[in-house]
Amino acid sequence: MLKIALIAGELSGDLLGAALIEALRARLPHAQFYGVAGPHMRAAGCEAIASIDQLSVMGIAEVLPALPRILRLRRELIARFSLDRPDVVIGIDAPDFNLGVERALRVQDLRTVHVVSPTVWAWRAGRVKTIARAVERILCLFPFEPAFYAQRGVAADYIGHPLADELDAAVTPREARAALGLPLDTPTVAVLPGSRGSELKYLAAPFAQAARRIAAQLADVRFVTPLAKPGLRAAMQAAIAEHAPQLPWTLLDGQSREVMRAADAVLIASGTATLECLLVGRPMVVAYRGSPVTAWLLLKAGMLKTRYVSLPNLLADQPTVPELLQDRATPERLAAAVLELLTPGSAARARQLEAFDRVRQTLRCDAAARAAAIIAGMLQR
């Protein structure tokens, strides 16, 4: 019986792992699956020898207290897989943890695959050497990534993005507003200043100031913000109270995709949420602000290796999304860019939506089935 070990480190990895298990079982019906799993992987038939909760830690302050536990788990997994010798070990994202495990196992002639490329093409390109030593193949979610790896002698395959298989632009803004209990025929702007306190620290105020300027030009507009965590509510409320106190503004816990679907335009912090915004087909303005030191390192000192920071611009054949970074992320510029997208018949809006349609079709490849075909082919060789 084939033994397939998987290591997922967070919710997105759990979802992809569950889909991958189902696709692998269709090809390898007698395979046994076990590893670090979440509820979706367990429901798909994966025996959990550890929980993804043990790895779902973000931020330096949170990681440091958990470090002894994380290192202990890594030692235990290496020992367990060294003894069991599964036919393949599949690390799903969580590269800081998984690549170390994969490298230790590959030295012992175990077969290793990593799913989801780290952003080595954007920064810390030196990690490619670690990846080359750690895995037999890396499976990539973006179409430009395999060529990057090929130039550096690493075997890589494009599988498409699982979110593209899940999300589409079928829900209209009016339908989404009805589901959220928002006025149906009122122009709506989704405001997403980020999912971390550090992002709100730099973006909540300019986003609220931009909203005030938008409302001065478009009297009946309303604003909606999905809060990734309850702890962010106070900071967002304070920014609205100070800079846009009279505006019709709804704060919701979570539901970021639903809020983006309900919007006519989105003002959003740079990050992975921009991909979701693209996939649900809503035009956007992307902003980034950080500490002066971080901004200098990324934008001036050359740590950031790409011309654009947002995934929509990196994935499209021509960049269409305004990117207002650091000192350029002023309320005046943010408001002007959003208002252009809200203008009926706007050419800027049409260009974005046409580009988004093309990217969506490129990314929609049934990622789990394609990954399963590649892994099953490896095992049969």
> And the tokens for 298?
């990324």
Q: What are the pLDDT tens digits along the chain (381 aa)? A: 899 999 998 778 899 999 999 999 999 999 999 999 999 999 999 999 998 877 754 444 445 666 788 889 999 999 999 999 999 999 998 898 999 999 999 999 999 999 999 887 656 677 889 999 999 999 999 999 999 999 999 999 999 999 999 999 999 999 999 999 999 999 999 999 987 777 888 899 999 999 999 999 998 999 999 998 888 899 999 999 999 999 999 999 989 999 999 999 999 998 889 999 999 999 999 998 876 666 555 555 455 556 777 899 999 989 999 999 988 999 999 999 999 999 988 999 999 999 999 999 999 999 999 999 999 999 987
> And the tokens for 323?
């990117």
Round to whole Å and give the CA distance between 105 and 54. 20
* Amino acid identity for residue 348 in this structure: A
In sequence order, what are the residues at sequence separation of 6 or more whose Cβ sits closer than 8 angstroms to the Cβ of residue 300? none
Give exposure, 237-257, as e/b (b: 16+ Cβ within 10 Å). eebbeebbeeeebbebeebbb
Architecture of 173-363 per CATH? 3-Layer(aba) Sandwich (3.40)
User: For the chain, what are the domain ranges?
Assistant: 3-160+365-380, 173-363
In sequence order, what are the residues at sequence separation of 6 or more whose Cβ sits closer than 8 angstroms to the Cβ of residue 12? 93
**Helix 331-342, helix 347-363: angle, nearest 10:** 80
Q: Tell me the CA end-to-end span of the chain in Å, nearest whole number.
A: 16
Burial of residue 45 (CB within 10 Å: 0-12, 13-18, 19+) is middle
> And the tokens for 337?
């860019």
Nearest to residue 228, comparing CAs of 275, 267, 273? Answer: 273
Same fold, 3-160+365-380 and 173-363: yes
Task: List the helix and strand counts (H, then E) for the chain.
Answer: 17, 13
CA 119 to centroid of chain Cα atoms: 11
Rg over CA atoms, the chain: 22
Q: Is 120:156 a contact under the CB 8 Å cutoff?
A: no
Architecture of 3-160+365-380 per CATH? 3-Layer(aba) Sandwich (3.40)
